Copies of this chain bind each other. A is one copy, B any other.
Amino acid sequence: MPTVSSEELAAAAGVNSAKLRKDFSYLGSYGTRGVGYDVEYLVYQISRELGLTQDWPVVIVGIGNLGAALANYGGFASRGFRVAALIDADPAMAGKPVAGIPVQHTDDLEKIIDENGVSIGVIATPAGAAQPVCDRLVAAGVTSILNFAPTVLSVPDGVDVRKVDLSIELQILAFHEQRKAGEEAEAQAGAAAPAERGDQGEGPDGDVPAVMPA
């Protein structure tokens, strides 16, 4: 039975082993003291808890540059997501296949959501169309939305929205970049450079805490 210790996993992930064990403990006691965790069983338990064991039908609305790229992306299927339908407002696109899936017109949005039992929608329309599209998706029964349009969406309680803003990603990089330059210039001033985070910035998260003094 292949096993891994929390120490090994923690080292590989670059985190503290105690935290990793405590996190696992929320799923139950799946480890064996003196041995570690059964890899296969652990993978299954985590997958199940994260919802990776079921497959989720997803619709993409707005099949332009970005929407088409998303439709073509094979990485979703491997994580349990299935592109159930592509929707666009442009009549010229209706019926035209993108990534092997025929694009359907916005008029049928409600029907498509309903027939496919979709609860997750991706919005890749221009900013102006995002809120109206969002409203229709929600009204049709979608309760989770991934929004690429540069707009803050208003949704009722119970609906989750995640916004992906690529400009902000670049801004965060630029912020650190600017800071690097500043530190070099001040390197002669004696003060040591502050500790740098070494992670792979999983998203535009709790970053950028301290700011340089005036």
List A residues at the B interface (Cβ < 8 Å).
23, 26-29, 49-52, 54, 56, 58, 65-66, 68-70, 72-73, 75-76, 78-81, 119-120, 122, 143-146, 150, 152-153, 157-158, 160-178, 180, 196, 198, 200-206, 210-214
Contacts and interface: CB of A to CB of B under 8 A. Distances in A.
B201 A56 contact: no
A170 B79 contact: yes
A203 B168 CA distance: 10
- Identical chains in the assembly: 2
A65 B78 CA distance: 18
B49 A144 contact: no
A122 B68 CA distance: 19
A78 B214 CA distance: 27
A30 to B, nearest CB: 9
B160 A177 contact: yes
A68 B65 contact: yes
A73 B177 CA distance: 22
A154 to B, nearest CB: 10
Contacts of A26: 210-213
Given A68-B65, A162-B200, A177-B56, A169 B144 contact: no
B120 A56 contact: no
A205 to B, nearest CB: 3
Contacts of A73: 65-66, 166
